[in-house]
Amino acid sequence: MIRYWLKMKRQEIQLKLTFYTYINEVIENKKDLCDLIFKLYISLKDEPIEELKDKFIESLAKIIHETAPKEE
């Protein structure tokens, strides 16, 4: 009986650890995504609607190149 209880507790802890790790990763990715969206907004806020698509792609590429790790 005690072995069964300990086994179930161990599985419960592993499940919680997996779940909380996943939530932490989602929060970290959300933070990065919010930063990216904010940078895009800053770079595009004064653009006319006609030029918005081209400027959006250009700004997104610029931000990606700036934040990408430098390879040598």
Q: How confident is the model at residue 14 (pLDDT cuts 50, 70, 90)?
A: very high
The position carrying tokens 């930063």 is 35
- Give the span between the Cα atoms of 70 and 64, in whole angstroms: 11
Q: What is the pTM of this model?
A: 0.46
* Over residues 16-24, mean pLDDT: 91
- Determine the pLDDT at residue 11: 92
CB 51 within 8 A of CB 28: no
In our burial notation (b when 16+ CB lie closer than 10 A, e otherwise), range 43-63 reads beeeeeeeeeeebeeebeeeb
